[in-house]
A = this chain, B = another copy of it.
C-alpha cells in the first residue's frame, strides 16, 4: 500500500468512518516531525481516531512499539483495519478511556501523542507521570479552549523546549471543472520535552 520510506500517506488511502476525525496528511507530517522518533521509540497515541499516526509510526519505526488508546469500540476496529491495510504489525490497541486506562499499560513511553480525548488537561497530567526522562509529548489543538488547556498544562508540568506551530495548508482540488485552492482547518501542533531529573 505504501512502499515509501517517507511519511505523508495520502489521506484517501485510509479507510474512514463517518464522524471519526482523521488527522490530515500535512498535520501528520508536523506531528511526526515534532515526535522526533528513534528506532526503538515506545509511543502512546491517545485518541487515535482513524489511526493515521499509528500507521505512519508503525511504518517508519518497525522496531518501535505503538500503543493506540481509543475508547470507542467501533473506532478500535477501524484502527485495526487501517494497520492491517498497511501491513503494520507493531501497533497494540488499548480499548479504554484515558486517563483512567493508562495505568494498565505495561510499556513505559518515551513519546506521547495526544490527538483527542475528553480532557486534555487530565490526560497530560496523567501521561506525564509515565513519560520517561527526555521523553517528548506532542499535542494538537483545533479549538482555543484546547490551546489554553495545553498551554496551562505545559506550564504547570514545566515542559521544556516547547514549540508551537500553527499550520494552515491550502490544497489545489477539483471543484467542478476548475482546480481551486481549498483551505484546510488550521491546527496548532504543540510539543515539548520532559526534563531529565
Contact = CB atoms under 8 A, between A and B. Distances in A.
A30 B8 CA distance: 8
Given A29-B29, A29-B30, A167-B169, A4 B38 contact: yes
A165 B10 CA distance: 13
A98 B122 CA distance: 38
Nearest to A63: B5
A164 B3 CA distance: 22
A183 B184 contact: yes
A153 interface: no
Nearest to A7: B33
Interface string A134-176: 0000000011111110010000000000011111111110000
A126 interface: no
Given A61-B5, A164-B144, A167-B169, A183 B180 contact: no
A60 B5 contact: yes
Contacts of A183: 168, 183-186
Interface residues of A, number: 47
Q: Which of A167, A178, A181 has the most CB of B within 10 A?
A: A181
Contact of A5 (B30, B39, B146): B39
Nearest to A152: B148
Interface in A22-78: 25-26, 29-30, 32-39, 60-61
